[in-house]
Amino acid sequence: MEPASAFIDEKVKELGDWRGKTLAKVRTIIHEADPEIVEEWKWAKPKSPGTPVFSHGGIVCTGETYKNVVKMTFAKGAALKDPSGLFNSSLEGNVRRAIDIHEGDEINEAALKDLIRAAVVLNLKGTSKPKGKLRRKSPPIRQAQGKL
């Protein structure tokens, strides 16, 4: 099976227009923000070739391409501070937030890198917590005296 990076390379090449260039630029910015980002290719179905996913301690964001937009969806975007106002899509949800990039849009690279780094920090914070409640060990069952 091909590595995810090869699928993303192919997607960029296949698009061959402003969307491919934008996806390639976003990909570069993501790796500049966090060199430990892992590229994945998820959710491939018969009618959908799949989606580029960028992860570190969990999903940071996706890089989806549509006819009129390149969309970066941040898995935990609602929990991130966005002082530069990059999020402009999926604003009504409780978990995700997205950035729609249209042809000709300028990308605020510094703000995007800050957002990516914040998403990684949030993911890594979540991985250090134990799942569920801590449980005390039950005392051993005592055998009734004289009975076995």
Query: What residue segments make up the domains of the chain, in order of their start?
Result: 4-127
Query: How many CB atoms sit inside 10 A of residue 119's CB?
Result: 28
| Cβ–Cβ < 8 Å for 77, 98 | yes
Q: Does pTM top 0.75 for this prediction?
A: yes
Q: What pLDDT is stored for residue 6 in this prediction?
A: 86
The pLDDT of residue 47 is 81
Q: How far apart are CA 19 and CA 135, in angstroms?
A: 51
pLDDT at 147: 52
Residue positions counted in the chain: 148
Q: Which residues of the chain have pLDDT under 50?
A: 129, 134
Q: Quick one: fold of 4-127?
A: Aspartate Aminotransferase, domain 1 (3.90.1150)
pLDDT score, position 64 = 94
